[in-house]
Structure 1
């Protein structure tokens, strides 16, 4: 029987586990933010799986960047709406 490769979601869980000591060393209020960044990565896991990048961290950083840019764009639109009133 052949060996099966771990899924991207499995790799993501392993990476999150590897960063566990770092998370624990963060201030309590920053731990939730850290957790939320991995939510971004999980939300983009299908795209990351399709990419099949040699470095599994690369799609995590891209997912975080995409989601943060989305939030910035949404907040800018809300500010524009409020200043137009």
Structure 2
């Protein structure tokens, strides 16, 4: 018989709860950012399931980085558009 694989969403919950003390150690504004990053990872749960990585934290971090990169690109484009309007 094969081994039982823990669902990715449950692994994400475990990671989030295991980082609870770290989160409590952060300043309040940083706690809000931490929570937002966790929400970002949860939005892409389908991609995490497809990756089926033995290290779900890697997938969560990659998802967070992708979202941050999208935000950077959006801000760059917005900045360029503003420069063109001058």
TM-score for both structures, normalised by structure 1: 0.92
- Aligned pairs for 1:1-16 within 5 A: 5-16=5-16
CA distance in 1, matches of 2:70, 2:46: 18
* Deviant stretches of 4+, over 2 Å: 2-6
Q: Which residue does 2:21 correspond to in 1?
A: 21
Query: Unaligned stretches of 5+ in structure 2?
Result: none
Deviations 1:1-26 (A, max 9, x none): x9853321111011000000000000
2:26 and 2:57 map into 1 onto residues whose CA distance is 20
Gaps of 5+ in 1: none
Question: Under a length normalisation based on structure 2, what TM-score does the superposition of the two structures give?
Answer: 0.91
1:71 has 2:71 as partner = yes
Query: Can you list the C-alpha shifts for 1:25-56, whole angstroms capped at 9, x where unaligned?
Result: 00011000000110111011100111100111
Q: CA RMSD in A?
A: 1.5
